[in-house]
Amino acid sequence: MAQPRILLVDDDPSVRFTIRRFLASNGYDVAVAESCAGAMEAFRASPPDAAVLDYELPDGTALDLLRAMKEIDPLVPLVILTGHGSIDLAVRAVKDGAEHFLTKPADMTALTVTLQRALQHRRLLRKQAVAAATAHRDADPFLGVSAAIRRLSELARKVAASDAPVLITGETGSGKGVLARWLHSNGPRADEPFVDLNCAGLNHELLESELFGHERGAFTSATASKLGLLEAAHRGTVFLDEIGDMDLAVQPKLLKAVEEKTFRRVGEVRDRTVDIRLLAATHRDLRALVDEGRFRADLFFRINAVPLAVPALRDRPEDIPVLARRLLEERPALSGLSLSEPAIAALQRYRWPGNVRELRNVLERAALLGGGTVLGPDDLLFDRGPRPAAAEESKLTLGELERVHIERVLRDVGGRVAAAAERLGIPRSTLYLKLKQHGLSVPKAGRDV
């Protein structure tokens, strides 16, 4: 983590030199300015963790800066120094948002203690805000007993405390975003912002504006300056989902932000600095995209410092019972429901092309359409997609192929067992036996009496 950044604003060079040297010797990164205009430029270019402001400045007072800085960052601690202290002025400054009011010549020890307390209070407030905003989304990405999920848990816990970029791979719906949020919450930046963006479907202009922000007049619809997500995540974590879909033209700018901690807003000519940890995720094969020229090799190697692969749900069927039960416990729409053993067996036999997200949908659908508090196989309506490709079918066992074919025929004949048995060339009794073996249910309208 970077040193706390302090913005020191004073028009007296000797005061700036003395305070800057003392704060730097105590572990602070100090930026300086000598006017209100210079202070606001420095504040916008690289947001400080706190600011120390001289009251009398050539182009205004610290009270002018208080209001302007608090509009940008309401939580930033601001300490005012003045050679003309009065109770009325101190009361007014604190009322306008100053953290503390000190008279010159400043006692260096008192100033350091004031900054330490102010920064601790700021961290507490930000932690509370982050916790309130994310409490409803907290989830455990390692639920289960499978070897695959245990291995993922071990690797993730080793890299959580690191500040290195992490590339999370896995199929759609497998829980990549849940893992990213866990890494942030269990890492050194847990008290700082977590900002996420899905890169899929965003064109060059929109993606660049969302990530880096833009200045007023940068393009036709830019009627005001906009803060980018990188700035919003300063000192925290940026999670870029589906980074494999990122426009090639934006990738060099992202690489510079990750490597050099600098970037420019759209329509701006000066660099801004930012301190972030990057987490990225994709369901694509980025190495193949690099070979095809659709993803930059240098960016790939930078974000792939620590790769984590989330296993597909079908590859860990032993985890399905605990996942399903947890979903039933956590979702208000599913409270009070449970799964029968045959229902659990049916869930474990299904291939889950949509992974955990699809499991959640199936359970919610069962809760909505089911008639009791215990869900059985008949209540589970799976998302039957298009026929699997030959390459996918070649991976199925003979029993799985039989199940897929029976499901397909039943669907084609509207669930009528007699018609399905005739098309399959087997007696109805044999079909009923196979339906039971595969955990398949038949709509009531299709059952033979």
pLDDT in tens, the chain (449 residues): 567 889 999 999 999 999 999 999 988 999 999 999 999 998 888 788 899 999 889 999 888 898 888 888 888 899 998 877 666 777 777 777 788 888 888 889 889 998 988 888 887 776 666 555 554 445 789 999 999 999 999 999 999 999 999 999 999 999 999 999 999 999 999 988 999 999 987 888 889 989 998 887 777 666 677 788 998 898 899 999 999 999 999 999 999 999 999 998 888 878 888 899 999 999 999 999 999 999 999 999 999 999 999 999 999 999 999 999 998 888 766 777 899 999 999 999 999 999 999 999 899 888 877 767 888 888 888 865 444 444 455 556 777 778 888 887 887 777 788 888 888 888 888 888 888 888 777 655 455 53
Ranges of H-type helices in 370-426:
390-393, 398-412, 417-424
Do 255 and 296 meet the contact criterion of CB atoms below 8 Å apart? yes
Asked if 262 contacts 256 with a C-beta cutoff of 8 angstroms, the reply is: yes
- Residue pair 207/218 in contact (Cβ under 8 Å)? The answer is no
With the CA atoms of 307, 310, 316 and 319 taken in that order, what torsion angle do they form, in degrees rounded to the nearest 10? 120
To which residue do tokens 């940026």 refer? 238
Beta bridge partners, 339, equal: 375
Domain 5-132 has CATH 3.40.220.10: no
In this chain, the answer to whether the domains covering 5-132 and 138-309 adopt an identical fold is yes
DSSP for 77-111, written as a single string: -EEEEESS--HHHHHHHHHTT-SEEEESSPPHHHH
Q: How many CA atoms lie within 13 A of 293 on its CB side?
A: 0
pTM of the model: 0.65
Superfamily of segment(s) 138-309: P-loop containing nucleotide triphosphate hydrolases (3.40.50.300)
Assess if CATH 1.10.10.60 describes domain 385-449.
yes
Are 51 and 93 contacting, i.e. CB atoms less than 8 angstroms apart? Answer: no
Q: Angle at which helices 62-72 and 87-95 pack, to 10 degrees?
A: 20
Domain 314-383: assigned CATH number: 1.10.8.60
What ranges do the domains of the chain cover?
A: 5-132, 138-309, 314-383, 385-449
Residue 272, CA distances (Å) to 269, 275, 286, 440 in order: 10, 10, 29, 59
Greatest pairwise CA separation for the chain in angstroms: 101
